[in-house]
Amino acid sequence: NAGVTQTPKFRVLKTGQSMTLLCAQDMNHEYMYWYRQDPGMGLRLIHYSVGEGTTAKGEVPDGYNVSRLKKQNFLLGLESAAPSQTSVYFCASSFVGEGPVGEQYFGPGTRLTVT
């Protein structure tokens, strides 16, 4: 089992460019999440999904869009990148949303720099 994988691992964008981050999980998890992690701050939830075909906004959704066309994949899109979106992006998945089995499994992260 690969667990949760993310591509790419690193990316540098110019302001205004667009890109898509891909997250894949092979654990048959229903729930998937996209977070950003910035120095001195906790992980912040961007968007999440509670099942195939569903998405919902998290704490910091502005400037991002997501899609979950297949249960195993969760895509994060930046339509017009801004320097404020420079961050480390983590994808995570969980079997359910609550309780001890709500444990989230994280991908290795994507380090994005917007110049």
Residues lying near other proteins in the complex (CB under 8 A): 40-45, 48, 58-59, 90, 97-100, 102-109
Nearer to other proteins, 51 or 97 (CB): 97
Ramachandran region, residue 88 (left: φ > 0; alpha: ψ -120 to 50; beta: rest): beta
Minimum CB distance to other proteins, residue 109 (Å): 6
Structural contact between residues 60 and 78, judged by C-beta atoms closer than 8 angstroms: no
For residue 104, give the 3-state DSSP assignment. Answer: coil
Whole-angstrom distance between the N-terminal and C-terminal Cα of the chain?
36
Nearer to other proteins, 16 or 108 (CB): 108
Minimum CB distance to other proteins, residue 31 (Å): 9
Nearer to other proteins, 53 or 108 (CB): 108
